[in-house]
Amino acid sequence: MPRREDIKRVLVIGSGPIVIGQAAEFDYAGTQACLALKEEGYEVILINSNPATIMTDTNIADKVYMEPLTLEYVSRIIRKERPHAILPTLGGQTGLNLAMQLAKKGVLEECQCEILGTSFRSIQEAEDREDFKKLCERINQPCLESLIAHTVEEIVACANEIGYPVVLRPAFTLGGTGGGFAYNDEDARSIGKNALKLSPVSEVLVEKSIKGYKEIEFEVMRDKNDTAIVICSMENIDPVGVHTGDSMVVAPAQTLSQKEYNLLANSALAIIRELKIEGGCNVQFALDPFSFQYFVIEVNPRVSRSSALASKATGYPIARVSSKIAVGLTLDEIQLGKVCAAFAPTVDYVVTKVARFPFDKFTKADRTLSTQMKATGEVMSIGRTMEESLLKAIRSLEIGVDHLYLEKFDSYTTEELLKSIETATDDRIYAIAELFRRKVDMMLINNATKIDAFFLDKIHHIISVEEKVKANPNEKYLRKAKKLGFSDRYLAKIYGMTELEMYQYRTGLGIRPVYKMIDTCAGEFDGYVPYLYSTYETENESVVTDKESIVVLGSGPIRIGQGVEFDYSTVHAIWAIQQAGYEAIVVNNNPETVSTDYSISDKLYFEPLCIEDVMHVIDLEKPKGVIVSLGGQTAINLTERLTKLNVPIIGTDHYAIERAENRDSFEKVVKETGIPQPIGQAVTDIETGIEVANKIGYPVLVRPSYVLGGRAMQIVHHDEELREYLTTAVKIDKDQPVLVDKYISGTEVEVDAICDGVDVFIPGIMQLVEATGVHSGDSMSVYPPYSLSQKVKDTIADYTVRLGLAIGIKGLFNIQFIVDSNDEVSVIEVNPRSSRSVPFLSKSSGIPMANIATKVMLGQSLKEQGYGTEVMPEKKRFYVKSPTFSFSKLHGLDTYLSPEMKSTGEAIGYDDTLNRALYKSLQASNLRVVNYGTVFVTVADADKERALPLVKRFYDLGFNIEATAGTAKSLKEYGIRTRVKQKISENSEEILESIRKGHITYIINTVTPSDSKMSQSKDGYLIRRTAVENNVTIFTSLDTVNVLLNILEEITMQVSTIDQ
Amino acid sequence: MKRKLVLQNGMEFIGHGFGSFKETIAELVFNTSVVGYQEILSDPTYYGQMLCMTYTLIGNYGMIDEDYDSKVIGPKALVVREYNDKPSNFRYTKTLNEVLEENDVVGITHVDTRQLTRVLREQGSMLAIICDLDVTTEEALAKINDYIAIEHPVSQVSCQKVWYSRCPNPKYNVVTVDCGAAYNMIREWNHLGCNVTIVPYNTSYEKIMGMNPDGVVISMGPGSPENCKGVIELIQKIQGQKPILGFGLGCQLIALANGLSVEKLVHGHRGSSYPVRNTKTNKVEITSQNHSYVISSGSDNVQVTYENVMDHTIEGIEVVDQKCFGVQFYPTNTLGVSHECYQQFIEYMQKGGN
């Protein structure tokens, strides 16, 4: 059945800004979908508000709308563009929900736009709990029953109906916290009471507890001919109860016999058939480890994070095939290289996915893993054995861990360790490893964790080999350890060497890996797929061509501060390398991204970004050059060591990186170029730190050098606070200097530019809305600047040119400036690499920055490319980038904006006037912009002067104002009618209650800067958390409030009496 | 203990022995299934072969008494990347090592099975020997050279006596000619309300007809179909009188009985992810397969009913107007629903003989 001829234009909805649970995997899926549709000859119209994506590049879709993903905007675009069909299953839950709304509101019918792939009815059946339950009953598939209760007695009755143990969950809370497991009536009463209280609608869901069940997932695919195949099975190492996005996941499933496998596979296929899905679908099961009892937990009738993982794990491009199915092709008609898409992929390796959590930045957030996903990103690794796969994944994480070993567990007693593993946390596996080191019986660990003995045995095996290596650090055991996946860095410690020495010693012994191909067919069919992983075996399948090649190092797992923006630059570098006539080779380990789609580059090595793994690729490929400056800090951190190993780094070299990142060298550069810089010093011990701070005067900005995303960056106001910071927040020592700088209050400005050693090209200058003190990644950013004088802009351009040349940048760099109230410009920092703002600025200015920069690195000067030392003329429109946060997912985390970056994603808004652009940007970032309601104000004394006129503006717009006593007093004096709310510290739940009940629209909350315990200030913290968990908008920066008011004043009609 | 695997082409792989430690020579083939090593090992069609599993971790869930697909372990030897001796599954009764030991089947682990698979893919299935390290390559190759393959493997796996598998309220009597029958298939007939009489491969036409069958099934089995002249003649006699259904080898025998020819594939179809197309309905389904021989082409009186989507080989045939058909793959039961070819056979039996 050929492709459909009756449709020509297809609308694709993206997934918008990145939040926890909906990340880069949808850029990967969306990009594949758009390319697949274009390949079939359709015109693709794309809507996505996330600027940091490849899919929103104008060469991926025919028309790109980067408008807010709301019903209003999407409807408008549909009416304007009149697409014949819409493909809703590629933009995550956001895209799917929007498509459903469009259908429900009749917009699709009105515009004669049909839903492709899976029908409206099917989506509804899969998404609606009741409908889905009926569907499962119809085809005899067991799904988990969930009853709703409104009183404690109802809860007990429901629990008895279902049978203990049950799990209780408060309904409509975002965090999903406050519930728990009940084993008897007594538990049900006590937990139920609390759960009812936490639910804004006093409703509790009662479900059968399936604690300890195995969690198994199937990715299945179906076409209109009813051919349905299993793409991949996946098994979570953590049993049911931990969100699959947070779990360590292994593919294929390891502990199922044929009977169990068939049971679940056939169930998944029956479900996709009954739902009549045309495309991919993900089905999650809970399977009792002691019987054949299973439950269908969840069905996602769309591409998902799991489908991205399954695609990368098998080499089968699910999104691409789904898109082709959606336009009428059948599986047997779709060819994937030499294999037909109807061939169910079969693998001959083990894939492990491990989530990357933000707990290294958010030390105060609760590390417990549960049904609410907390990970910001993930790594995948491939090995021929479970051990190899797992250890490669661990060292890919970049959390300072290179083995199943965490120092912190050394000090735990065995009892403490056993107790700690009962709760799933991000570091549980290291505690388990430590227990094995202490010869604790596996059954005890199995009992405490319910992790299948298969996986525990593999961990045990790793530890037993570790012990052998420690006892006999000889060549034989080195070989064995490497085969099992041990890292050089860990082995180096055992052998008393540095990582580089170990690498050289080992390769000297001829212990080197080979590369195997991921070909979807376990080697059965011939055909070269340039998608490779390393393992210590005999045959190497990676074919090195005669063509000169360039290796690009990717950016690894997505974390706060290093997101999909860096993948954007990586992918552009690949294209630029290919345009320049070289072979583009990628090394990366993130399964969610476009750069790890093997069809993007000429060759993909799915490997950890550690020295040894990168060097093995380089040793084999002997590339002409290696690009490190596009993969964020990950690759930058490898540069020094790669240089030592004589790797030809192209672009900004190690010495230039050192000049930008080493405090002393940087200061020298700044002095030589005569550019003002906030006074400060790098210190390596506490007393010097205090001395320096007093010399330059408080407040000072402190941060460890070599950081990303402002990790552990803080403004401190006195000795005591500084002392605490230097002892607890960072472990200061000789190798880890801390920077102490004068804190200047002013406007922050950011520049991304390209330098080729002769010229410096500046595509644009971005002005940040929030004043210094809020991390640039958490600020709203505006291009072109909206309130900078020409003189200031000229100064910034001049400084940028001078710095680029003096540091010796070859390629992209990013500079942060401060402009104080006297229009004096000083430089805060220079990042000698691609930055977070590159995609935003590229899209806003229309300059393909990563492409130009890559060509510069390859030796094509800016002049040759038609650019010179210049600032591009500013665009007439305003482009605004707004941050998106995932606070509701991270329990315990304070939402206060600070120099430490907290946002997970970004959204763009653009329009002819500043306020309109700001408005759209805020809407796109999921902020609720409402022009009525109640504003709750509690601000620090120091902020009152600035806050009062702002609150007055709310008041004038017709908002009801509420405040705590202190703030209320000032507000009343200022002529604002204010209702006083009792403080929490006065034993009143009044404030929290009204937040939970949804009575409050906005909260304005600032804290006293001099209060060193600001984040611990209990009232403020509780208010902020409760707000986040109940989806109430909270502002901790008055600059943002000002922007919001500008917008509200423009969109609100005022009310007044006739005689005013 | 370290042992080695030497291929007919001189390639050598060092691994660790498990199961039986005897020396063994056999034709080496590979299977690409990720799960189901127990069912695969107990498939008599592998009789006399050496099996390489392409999936790396084998033994994870042990061996489960009730899951055997026949009473024999088919292969003479098993080659894996990593044998797991610590199974984890609530039903497992023995480890794979124990079962191989009991059945005197040789195992070798820590072999680069992917490299091996690629060799077999390019050069075709070939003879190989698993032996101790002290056997030199020359000696090993000489042994391979002197090796005489089992002439008639079907005779080795077929039952020696008639046996019965009955069900409550039977509607039909199916006689299965056992060339290497799998329990799975017999259970399926029972599930469909058929009593099954399993007879040795060399049972006479008269004896079978004396059992008054509603239909005759020719089972799957090992080796070349050319070896089973007797069964071919049997099919020729029964055809037209009783419905006939053949699986795997049985299907190839039906082809030969009707004048078609078969040929040996370079490396065969062994795995569980082969898409085949039903040529009548154009539906595509995923099948499990285990066959070395394919039917060269159809003829005027033999229709092609299934076609392999990947290499377009014939996966099923039907002799026109004879109620006689066969499939190369192993049709399965999905959630209690039998495969269409079982259902078709039931229909034929319902209509009675010609």
Mean pLDDT, to the nearest integer, of A909-930? 93
Q: Are A529 and A519 in contact (CB under 8 A)?
A: yes
Mean pLDDT, to the nearest integer, of A63-69? 96
Integer Rg of chain B from CA: 20
pLDDT score, position A990: 86
Residue type, B290: N
Q: A930-952 pLDDT, tens per residue?
A: 899 999 999 888 888 899 999 99
Q: Which residues contact A257 (CB under 8 A, 6 or more apart)?
A: B35, B36, B38, B61, B64, B67, B89, B91, B92
pLDDT score, position A1012: 42
Q: Does pLDDT of A710 surpass 60? A: no
**Minimal-distance CA residue of chain A relative to B273:** A344
Which residue in A226, A347, A537 is closest to B112 by CB distance? A537
Chain A hits for B13, Cβ within 8 Å: 538
Element (H, E) at A11: strand A9-13
Distance from CA of B106 to the nearest CA of A (A): 22
Cα–Cα separations (whole angstroms), residue A1 to A5, A36, A329: 11, 17, 6
Q: Are B268 and B29 in contact (CB under 8 A)?
A: yes
Strands (E), B54-191: 57-58, 77-79, 82-83, 106-109, 126-132, 163-165, 172-178
A114: β partners: A85
A467 vs A174, higher pLDDT: A467
Q: Does pLDDT of B198 surpass 90? A: yes
**Minimal-distance CA residue of chain B relative to A290:** B90
Distance from CA of A348 to the nearest CA of B (A): 4
Longest CA pairwise span in chain B (Å): 64
Chain A hits for B123, Cβ within 8 Å: none
CB within 8 Å: A258 and B60 = no
Integer Rg of chain A from CA: 28
The tokens of B336 are what?
């209690």
Chain A hits for B92, Cβ within 8 Å: 257
Distance from CA of A491 to the nearest CA of B (A): 23
Which residue in B57, B88, B274 is closest to A350 by CB distance? B57
CB within 8 Å: B35 and A229 = no
pLDDT score, position A1011: 47
pLDDT score, position A733: 67
Which residue in B60, B81, B89 is closest to A384 by CB distance? B81
Helix (H, G, I), strand (E, B) or coil at A286: strand
Which residue in A266, A526, A539 is closest to B335 by CB distance? A266
Q: Are A354 and A558 in contact (CB under 8 A)?
A: no
pLDDT band at A631 (very low <50, low <70, confident <90, very high): confident
Mean pLDDT, to the nearest integer, of A241-268? 95
* Rounded Cα–Cα distance for residues A270 and B330 (Å): 20
Distance from CA of A487 to the nearest CA of B (A): 21
Distance from CA of B229 to the nearest CA of A (A): 32
A808 vs A363, higher pLDDT: A808
pLDDT score, position A1016: 45
A586: β partners: A552, A604
Least confident of A41-45, A525-529, B34-38: A525-529
Q: Does pLDDT of A734 surpass 80? A: no
Q: Does pLDDT of A420 surpass 50? A: yes
How many other C-beta atoms can be found within 10 angstroms of the C-beta atom of residue B200? Answer: 17
Residue type, A42: Y
Mean pLDDT, to the nearest integer, of A344-351? 96
CB within 8 Å: A385 and B118 = no
Distance from CA of B289 to the nearest CA of A (A): 13
Cα–Cα separations (whole angstroms), residue A408 to A390, A735, A961, B207: 21, 20, 48, 77
Mean pLDDT, to the nearest integer, of A745-756? 94
In percent, the amount of chain A with pLDDT more than 90 equals 69
Q: A644-682 pLDDT, tens per residue?
A: 999 999 999 999 999 998 878 998 999 999 999 888 888
Mean pLDDT, to the nearest integer, of A982-1002? 86
Chain A hits for B80, Cβ within 8 Å: none
Q: Does pLDDT of A984 surpass 70? A: yes
Q: Phi and psi at residue A626, in whole multiples of 5°?
A: -125, 130
Least confident of A86-95, A424-433, A616-625, A918-927: A86-95
CB within 8 Å: A256 and B61 = yes
Which of B88, B93, B183, B283 to mutate to probe the A interface, most A CBs <10 Å?
Answer: B88
Residue pairs spanning A and B at CB distance below 8 A: 155
Q: Does pLDDT of A610 surpass 80? A: yes
Quickly tell me which residue has 């060399």 as its tokens: B202
Chain A hits for B285, Cβ within 8 Å: 227
Distance from CA of B44 to the nearest CA of A (A): 18
Q: Are A132 and A126 in contact (CB under 8 A)?
A: yes
Q: B139-180 pLDDT, tens per residue?
A: 999 999 999 988 899 999 999 999 999 999 999 999 999 999
Q: How large is the angle between the packed helices A318-326 and A305-314, nearest 10 degrees?
A: 110
Alpha-carbon A84 to chain mean position: 33
Which residue in B118, B273, B282 is closest to A343 by CB distance? B273
Q: Are B258 and B302 in contact (CB under 8 A)?
A: yes
Residue type, A1026: T
Residue type, A282: N
A201 vs A965, higher pLDDT: A965
Q: A681-707 pLDDT, tens per residue?
A: 888 888 888 999 999 888 888 887 665
pLDDT score, position A730: 66
**Minimal-distance CA residue of chain B relative to A540:** B115
Which residue in B56, B112, B283 is closest to A385 by CB distance? B56
Mean pLDDT, to the nearest integer, of A563-585? 95
Strands (E), A723-823: 738-742, 747-755, 760-768, 781-783, 811-819
* Rounded Cα–Cα distance for residues A719 and A695 (Å): 12
CB within 8 Å: B82 and A384 = yes
**What is the overall mean pLDDT for chain A?**
91
Distance from CA of B183 to the nearest CA of A (A): 14
Cα–Cα separations (whole angstroms), residue B97 to A215, A257, B17, B86: 28, 16, 10, 10
Which residue in A252, A516, A526 is closest to B34 by CB distance? A252
**Minimal-distance CA residue of chain A relative to B117:** A523
Q: A856-900 pLDDT, tens per residue?
A: 999 999 999 999 999 999 999 999 999 998 887 777 788 888 888
**Minimal-distance CA residue of chain B relative to A264:** B335
pLDDT band at A313 (very low <50, low <70, confident <90, very high): very high
Q: Phi and psi at residue B169, in whole multiples of 5°?
A: 45, 55
A701 vs A811, higher pLDDT: A811
* Rounded Cα–Cα distance for residues A209 and A182 (Å): 9
* Rounded Cα–Cα distance for residues A704 and A714 (Å): 10
Q: A439-452 pLDDT, tens per residue?
A: 999 999 999 999 99
**Minimal-distance CA residue of chain B relative to A454:** B88
Q: Are A763 and A723 in contact (CB under 8 A)?
A: no
Distance from CA of A269 to the nearest CA of B (A): 10
pLDDT score, position A1008: 61
* Rounded Cα–Cα distance for residues A84 and A828 (Å): 51
**Minimal-distance CA residue of chain A relative to B111:** A537
Helix (H, G, I), strand (E, B) or coil at A41: coil
pLDDT score, position A1017: 67
The one-character DSSP state at A368 is: B
How many other C-beta atoms can be found within 10 angstroms of the C-beta atom of residue B265? Answer: 16
pLDDT score, position B261: 95
Cα–Cα separations (whole angstroms), residue A730 to A709, A718, A733, A737: 15, 17, 9, 10
Q: Which residues contact B24 (CB under 8 A, 6 or more apart)?
A: B50, B76, B77, B106, B129, B130
CB within 8 Å: B60 and A255 = yes
CB within 8 Å: A348 and B60 = no
Exposure string of A543-579, with b = 16+ CB inside 10 Å and e = fewer, is eeeeeebbbbbbbbbbbbbbbbbbbbbbbbbbbbbee
pLDDT score, position A928: 84
Chain B hits for A446, Cβ within 8 Å: none
pLDDT band at A727 (very low <50, low <70, confident <90, very high): confident
Q: Does pLDDT of B85 surpass 90? A: yes
Q: Does pLDDT of A209 surpass 90? A: no
pLDDT score, position A409: 96
- Rounded to the nearest 5 degrees, what angle is found at the Cα of A499, between the Cα atoms of A495 and A505? 65
Helix (H, G, I), strand (E, B) or coil at A27: helix
Q: Does pLDDT of A1 surpass 70? A: no
Please give the full DSSP string across A412-481, using - where no structure is assigned: S-HHHHHHHTTS-BTTHHHHHHHHHHTT--HHHHHHHH---HHHHHHHHHHHHHHHHHHH--SHHHHHHH
Which of B30, B40, B60 to mutate to probe the A interface, most A CBs <10 Å?
Answer: B60
pLDDT score, position A163: 87
Chain A hits for B82, Cβ within 8 Å: 384-385
pLDDT score, position A241: 86
CB within 8 Å: A140 and B335 = yes
CB within 8 Å: B114 and A343 = no
pLDDT band at A1010 (very low <50, low <70, confident <90, very high): very low
CB within 8 Å: B310 and A522 = no
Which residue in B57, B117, B334 is closest to A254 by CB distance? B57
Distance from CA of A265 to the nearest CA of B (A): 10
Chain B hits for A256, Cβ within 8 Å: 35, 61
Helix (H, G, I), strand (E, B) or coil at A976: coil
Alpha-carbon A595 to chain mean position: 15
B314: β partners: B295, B307
Element (H, E) at A319: helix A318-326
